[in-house]
Amino acid sequence: MNKSRSPRTPLCCLGAGLLLITLGAVSLCVGSYPLSLGQIGALLTGGMGDTIQARVFFTLRLPRTLMAAVTGLALGLAGGVYQTVFRNPLASPDLTGVAGGASLGAAAVIVWGAGGAVEIMAGAFGAGLLSLALVLGLVRACRTDRTATYVLAGILVSALAEAGLMLLKTLADPERELAAIEYWTMGSLSAMTSGKLAAVLPVAVGAAGILLFRRQAALLTLGDESARATGLEPGRWRALLLGLATLMVAAVVSVTGVVAFVGLIAPHIAFGLLRRRGGAFLPLCGLVGADLLLAADLLARTPGSGAELPLSIFTVLFAAPVLCMLMLRRRGDGDAA
Please state the domain extents for the chain: 64-336
pLDDT at 79: 93
pLDDT at 116: 66
Q: Distance between the two ends of the chain, CA-based, in angstroms?
A: 28
pLDDT at 306: 61
CATH superfamily of 64-336: ABC transporter involved in vitamin B12 uptake, BtuC (1.10.3470.10)
Residues of the chain with pLDDT under 50: 1-4, 335-337
pLDDT at 331: 64
Q: How far apart are CA 239 and CA 234, in angstroms?
A: 8
pLDDT at 114: 63
